């Protein structure tokens, strides 16, 4: 059966030269508006101060015409998801986020609702990582042990958010981002990894997958394959589980 999933997966909420979420404003607004969504459920689990984090998102998105509420303000997180048509999972620490999603039995619940077409999913950074096949390619520190590295699996491949070609200084002997992703691709269980540059986002609509935003992405595959995809590329082939 064709998935009725609809999702926006942002590399990050912040992008150099833009205020918070501004680089993605047009995509976010059209994503929500064309589905008649006026209310947005925010999931601040990747950070520790839920009220403060939710207030920050409210401050940005309420003026855009959306009413943002924090999942922690509901009696029950499952009910919170059931009473909203769209969810936004914010960034922070991916391990902490995934652990809290599992603790609240939200991983399967969100997956099912998204696949049925009954929930729009928006994620940023850690919120994008947990939406993929697994969190194997997060950049975050493993500050807490989650019951699994499996994600919500809205898409069947991996994402590396905040992707950049080179981070370390020339004298530093730590591994580069590309080396780290290469280590993952050596694993028998590895899927392709899409490195999303800051300012890029993925638009998932059923079986169509587009790279949008102001920056491109880089696809890493087994056998040292590395392919650049500029913004507006169609990468729907990545949704084919046989390629992932």
Catalytic positions, written as ranges? 125, 140, 162
Contact with its own copies (CB under 8 A) among 34, 63, 75, 145: 145
User: What's the start-to-end Cα distance of the chain, in Å?
Assistant: 18
Structure tokens at 112: 């099912």
Per rule CB under 8 A, is residue 60 in the interface with its own copies?
Answer: no
Does 19 help bind its own copies (rule: CB under 8 A)?
Answer: no
Which one of 183, 207, 228, 232 is in contact with its own copies (CB under 8 A)? 183
Q: In the complex, what is the shortest distance from the CB of residue 242 to its own copies, in angstroms, rounded to a whole number?
A: 22
Contact between 165 and its own copies by CB under 8 A: the answer reads no
Exposed / middle / buried, residue 122 (Cβ in 10 Å: 0-12, 13-18, 19+): buried
Q: What size, in residues, is the chain?
A: 244
Strand extents, DSSP E, the chain: 6-10, 39-43, 67-70, 86-89, 120-124, 158-163, 193-197, 200-205, 208-213, 217-221, 225-229
Cβ 124 to its own copies shortest distance, Å: 11
Using DSSP bridges, classify how beta strands 67-70 and 120-124 pair: parallel, antiparallel or unpaired. unpaired
DSSP state of 242: G
| Position 224 contacts its own copies (CB under 8 A) | no
The answer to whether 184 contacts its own copies (rule: CB under 8 A) is: yes
Q: Record the tokens describing residue 243, joined without a space.
A: 């390629």
**Interacting positions 64-123 with its own copies (CB under 8 A):** 92-93, 95-96
Does the footprint of its own copies cover residue 191 (CB under 8 A)? no
Q: Residue 143, interface with its own copies (CB under 8 A)?
A: yes
Binding positions for its own copies, rule: CB under 8 A: 12, 14-16, 48, 92-93, 95-96, 135-145, 148-149, 162, 164, 167-169, 171-175, 180-181, 183-184, 186-187, 189-190, 198
């Amino acid at each position: 059966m064709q998935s009725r999933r609809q999702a926006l997966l942002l590399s990050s909420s912040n992008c150099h030269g833009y205020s918070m979420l501004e680089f993605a404003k047009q995509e976010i607004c059209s994503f929500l508006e064309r589905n008649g969504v006026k209310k947005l459920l925010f999931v601040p689990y990747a950070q520790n101060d839920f009220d403060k984090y939710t207030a920050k998102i409210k401050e940005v998105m309420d003026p855009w015409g959306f009413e943002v509420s924090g999942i922690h303000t509901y009696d029950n997180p499952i009910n919170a998801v059931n009473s909203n048509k769209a969810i936004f999972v914010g960034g922070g620490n991916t391990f902490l986020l995934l652990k809290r999603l599992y603790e609240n039995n939200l991983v399967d619940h969100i997956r099912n609702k998204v696949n049925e077409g009954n929930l729009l999913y928006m994620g940023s950074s850690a919120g994008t990582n947990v939406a993929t096949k697994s969190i194997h390619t997060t950049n975050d520190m493993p500050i807490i042990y989650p019951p699994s590295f499996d994600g919500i699996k809205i898409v069947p491949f991996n994402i590396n958010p905040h992707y950049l070609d080179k981070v370390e200084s020339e004298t530093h002997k730590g591994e580069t981002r590309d080396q780290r992703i290469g280590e993952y691709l050596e694993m028998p269980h590895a899927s392709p990894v899409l490195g999303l540059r800051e300012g890029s986002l993925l638009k998932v609509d059923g079986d169509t997958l587009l790279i949008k935003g102001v920056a491109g992405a880089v696809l890493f595959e087994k056998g040292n394959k590395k392919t650049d995809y500029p913004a507006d590329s169609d990468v729907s082939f990545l949704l084919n589980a046989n390629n992932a």
